[in-house]
Amino acid sequence: MELLEESVVPEHARPVKQDAREFAAEHIEPNAEECFREGEYPWEILEAARDADLIAQDIPEEYGGRGLSLTEVLAIAEEFFRADAGIALTLQLASFGAELVTEYGSEAQKEEYLRPVAEGEQLTGLAVSEPETGSDLAGMTTRADLEEGTGPDGEDEYVLNGEKYWIGNGVEADWLTVYARTDDDEANQYGNHSCFIVPTDADGYHAEHIPEKMGMRASKQAHVVFDDCRIPAENVVGTEGAGFWMLAEFFNHGRIVVAGHGLGLAAAAFEEAWSFTHDREEFDRTISDFQAVQHGLADMRMDFESARALTWRAAKKVEAGEEPGFWAAMAKTVSTEAAVDCAEQGMQFHGGRSILTDRRIARVYRDVRIPVIYEGANEIQRNLVYRQSGD
């Protein structure tokens, strides 16, 4: 049985998908349980992924990457997340936020900040969510105020104050793309925020790891505090006031990749459930002989296949710029919720063994709760789908 077969994957994305599968089998799967148990950042696996050219490679070739397409990144995501979600998230967060610099940054910014990430010398991250604000992009309160002529050489500076929460690589990264408020125009709520490149060694930048998480424990998120954190005005990405719209476009691509997270997790749940029910006996029969179990497995397979078909169709739509927000929202919602449903059913089939922490199904069950929230909670995605359905 091969759930993540390549017939729905465009031909150009199949080689990197195979590379990702081989890497996952060699480096991710054998270390999944230990990384989950220890909850430590998997530096050695990250270095191996860099050597294999499987992370940060959507950065264009002229800045040291491979210029991988959205569909190629999706192909990697479903393979990595099938092997282990925590390690996979670490690998995919290694260049998180760099896409905004790729799309909107100046040539000087691209050369200075993208190349080291693509070449494996630096890590980055994206700082959007705040302790009191998650999905409300227009409501973020971290501020960036312009001060003229206050820099060491008389240059203009932005001074950042506020907090960010759930920031991947907030401690480990060399720089973050930070979303901050630069205006308070009530008549233009979508024009009040901007994006900035913020080196993590800047004065006034403070970060600490968020304590124990129940899932994706090999991935590290941070609580970041900006206390009069000064950066050069030239670190604005794109133009001031365009941050909301830049992120909206960025999330269209990101949500397709998160749909791949859901597909990988759903595949893992189904594989575990299938194997367990066909190996275990009850009442002198294999569990899979019971019709109720067969129906449950059938539902899992249908959920998975429906989500995968939608995701790959949506990926092509987003790449082509055809209603990208609509298709990305649907794919993210359907795939991540398919993962939740498959994990729930897989746990039920495992019975008492499902709660043993060394079981793959138990790790999957914990992990699936997270993708339904990040990149915009699924309730927000439903709002987007509804609003754009009549267009």
- Judge contact between 25 and 79, C-beta under 8 A: no
How many other CB atoms sit within 10 Å of the CB of residue 391? 7
User: What's phi and psi for 57, nearest 5 deg?
Assistant: -95, 5
3-state secondary structure of 170: coil
Give the span between the Cα atoms of 166 and 67, in whole angstroms: 28
Active site includes 375? yes
How buried is residue 44: exposed, middle or buried, by Cβ count under 10 Å (0-12/13-18/19+)? exposed
92 near 126, Cβ under 8 Å?
A: no
Between CA 370 and CA 134 the distance in angstroms is 13
Per annotation, catalytic residue among 121, 147, 375, 379: 375
Concatenate the DSSP letters of all residues of 248-317 into one string: HHHHHHHHHHHHHHHHHHHHHHHHHHHHHHHH-EETTEEGGGSHHHHHHHHHHHHHHHHHHHHHHHHHHH
Q: Are the C-beta atoms of 336 and 378 separated by less than 8 Å?
A: yes
The alpha carbon of residue 9 and the mean position of all alpha carbons in its chain are separated, in whole angstroms, by 20
Are 74 and 48 within 8 A, CB to CB?
no
Report the Cα–Cα distance between both ends of the chain, in Å, rounded. Answer: 40
7's CB contacts (< 8 A; 6+ apart) are: none
- Which residues are known catalytic residues? 375
